[in-house]
Amino acid sequence: MKKRALVAMFLLFTLSLAGEDYRKLLDRTITAESYERTLLAVSSLPHPTGSVAQRDNTQYLAERMRKMGLQVEVMTFSVPLPEPRKSALYWEKPGAVSFPMQEPALLEDPFSESREALVGFNAWSPSGNVSGPLIFAHYGGKEEYEYLLSRGVKLKGAIALVRLGREYRGDKAALAKKYGLAGVLLFPDPQDRGFRVGTVYPEGNSLPAGGLERGSLDTLPYPGDPLTPGRPSLPGQKRLEKNPLDGELAVTLPISYETAQKLLTEMSGERAPEAWQGGLGTIYRTGDGVGAKVVMRVENKTVERAVYVVVGKIPGKSRPREVVALGSHFDAWVYGTTDPNAGTAVVMETAAFFADLAKSGWRPERTLAFVHWDGEEFGVIGSTEWEEELERRGERVVLTINEDAAVGGPDFGIVATPGHRSLLVRYVERFLKEYGRERFSLKIPQKFDVGAVVSCGSDHCAPLYRQNSGVFAFWSAGSYGVYHSLYDNPLYYQRFVDPGYLYGRDLSKILAGTLYLYMEEEGGEAFDGADLAEFLLGELASPAWKPFFEKDGYLRLKRALESLKGKPAWRGAEAGRVRGLFLTPQGAPQGVWARNTLYEQNPENRYVALALPSLLRGDERAWQEFVRLFEGLAGAGDASGRP
């Protein structure tokens, strides 16, 4: 064939793909079979960060993406991480035996027989041999400790039984330390996750009596390697000499609700308030701080571990240093079939679609990267080190799609950062109609719930807090009861999360289709000021802002946001410039690491974030700068000032 004819054929082929044929490609490349293949390949063995199974997963994902034709890079960071050597809890009396710190094997579930599963432990808990009288502190918040003190319960040296949930577990361990407690025992109350919610596993999907919730207690004001804030954990990079977490936390262990019940029935003291009574069918007493004593023996040793990040890329044709990242972490406390590896499978399905598109000559304007992050469970480590390394290379993440634990059941949901949500909804609706109709209950929330997406509980944290990257997440939720336990495994997933892998398949199609249109029509970079304004106006009306209601700056800010609501979205380089206006080079207000002035993690509960934190603190200069900035964006003045 002549060269000209070849070029013409090639053009025709790519044009047809850029038109409607990509839908056929979606159906061909994204299947329940390949979704299942990935999911079982990465989650049939326990694979916490640093394990041999996780190293094998790294090679597997890299190899699969290479075969797809993506440009693959495996980054290896070296990070000191805690490893449990001893977890024990027993009554302080002669001959007492330890309560179980391993979950029991269940007859029908061969995965639960693993000897490789990590014992119950909390990463970053200090080691220690502590003994003390038991007290019960409900969810372990400030108001609960103050109540106990007001009732004359002695906290100093006591060991607190604390219910999981409401606040982040690390904040519970830090607060207990401040009140002088010797130790914390964290348990899931069956009202939240056990037999009071529904039939327990293996007959149903609720947490069985012996289940444990492992988890990190990291409460540092930055994610990632505690020793290298702002720098990738690579050879030659400067390290802090001491982990700033040392001395900040009480000795902590996770226990089952079966163990909690045994402890509660032995406790003395007065009956705890009505609101503190849980689902264990026993009276919850406060303890008196002098009654029956328990002993905790915890030994967590810090070991240097490899933390891997696997990247498969399609380089951008006009702005290759600007990255749209679609990823999920792939490390798990045990099997992690739902959390996180349903996300791993979604990323791989989407990658397969785009890799095929690229084979036909398609190129995005900006680089599209499919990323598997390790070390998330210990404190969002792989993604943080990856982002810091990209910065060092002069690359910038403009959009992050985080698919951590993407598939959980029939309720389809999306969430996005203010500034991106309206754009996302526009594209996602087209595919929801097509692929979601029978499968999902289709509820696109009309109101923002940005709590999770602007807090730092997962891998979108570093791009959002350091670069003001946009964030999307797609998920399907259900009643998933086995979070961070041995029972989040392939059998549970098949039975109760996604029988036939159809939620996983269809979610991947909706995501891939949406991302394709977003890359084609927005070039991967857009920012909707009206959307941000709507969110901020909602925040400004909340009670936390009451002290400022009469302030001149407050009224001007509101007026500017109101007029911003009528403006069209920014696109391309201009969108990047506007996003950049919210970054401060000095690292304020959150300290050394974060640069985003729009949000801050609530230091008392890392599950939620605050908007415009410096204004809430009454910082006069910040008030002036933000008012000027938003007036500028609304077209009423000078936009050159940085907040």
Q: What's the CA gap between 338 and 490, in Å, rounded? A: 8
Q: At what angle do helices 552-564 and 529-540 cross, to 10 degrees?
A: 140
Give whichever of 310 and 405 is closer to Zn ion, judged by the CB atom. Answer: 405
**What's the CA angle centered on 583, arms 380 and 512, to 5 degrees?**
55
Q: At what angle do helices 52-68 and 32-43 cross, to 10 degrees?
A: 150
CB count within 10 Å of CB 280 equals 22
Give whichever of 287 and 336 is closer to Zn ion, judged by the CB atom. Answer: 336
Give whichever of 177 and 329 is closer to Zn ion, judged by the CB atom. Answer: 329
Give whichever of 226 and 408 is closer to Zn ion, judged by the CB atom. Answer: 408
The site for Zn ion (CB under 5 A) is made up of 339-340, 404-405
- We find the least distance from the C-beta atom of residue 456 to Zn ion, in angstroms, to be 13
- We find the least distance from the C-beta atom of residue 152 to Zn ion, in angstroms, to be 41
Residue 281: exposed, middle, or buried by beta-carbon count in 10 A (0-12, 13-18, 19+)? exposed
Give whichever of 136 and 330 is closer to Zn ion, judged by the CB atom. Answer: 330
Distance of CA 246 to the CA centre of its chain: 24
Q: What's the CA gap between 469 and 518, in Å, rounded? A: 15
- We find the least distance from the C-beta atom of residue 376 to Zn ion, in angstroms, to be 6
Q: Which residues pair with 402 in a beta bridge?
A: 327
Residues 366/524, Cβ–Cβ less than 8 Å: yes
Residues 381/374, Cβ–Cβ less than 8 Å: yes
Give whichever of 65 and 406 is closer to Zn ion, judged by the CB atom. Answer: 406
Dihedral sign for Cα 325, 330, 331, 332, please.
positive
Give whichever of 61 and 155 is closer to Zn ion, judged by the CB atom. Answer: 61
* Dihedral class, residue 380 (left if φ above 0, else alpha if ψ from -120 to 50, else beta): left
Residues 485/116, Cβ–Cβ less than 8 Å: no
Dihedral sign for Cα 485, 491, 492, 497, please.
positive
What's the alpha-carbon Rg for the chain, to the nearest Å? Answer: 25
- We find the least distance from the C-beta atom of residue 204 to Zn ion, in angstroms, to be 23
Token pair of 329, please?
Answer: 């972490």
Q: What's the CA gap between 455 and 563, in Å, rounded? A: 28
Give whichever of 167 and 404 is closer to Zn ion, judged by the CB atom. Answer: 404
- We find the least distance from the C-beta atom of residue 429 to Zn ion, in angstroms, to be 27
Give whichever of 123 and 560 is closer to Zn ion, judged by the CB atom. Answer: 123
Single-letter amino acid, residue 526: A
Give whichever of 327 and 572 is closer to Zn ion, judged by the CB atom. Answer: 327
- We find the least distance from the C-beta atom of residue 59 to Zn ion, in angstroms, to be 21
Distance of CA 274 to the CA centre of its chain: 33
* 3-state class (DSSP) for residue 7: helix
| Nearest-CB residue for Zn ion | 340
State the alpha helices, DSSP H only, in 207-364: 257-265, 343-359
Q: What's the CA gap between 86 and 109, in Å, rounded? A: 26
* 3-state class (DSSP) for residue 598: coil
Token pair of 482, please?
Answer: 């086995």
Give whichever of 255 and 405 is closer to Zn ion, judged by the CB atom. Answer: 405
Give whichever of 382 and 436 is closer to Zn ion, judged by the CB atom. Answer: 382
- We find the least distance from the C-beta atom of residue 321 to Zn ion, in angstroms, to be 29
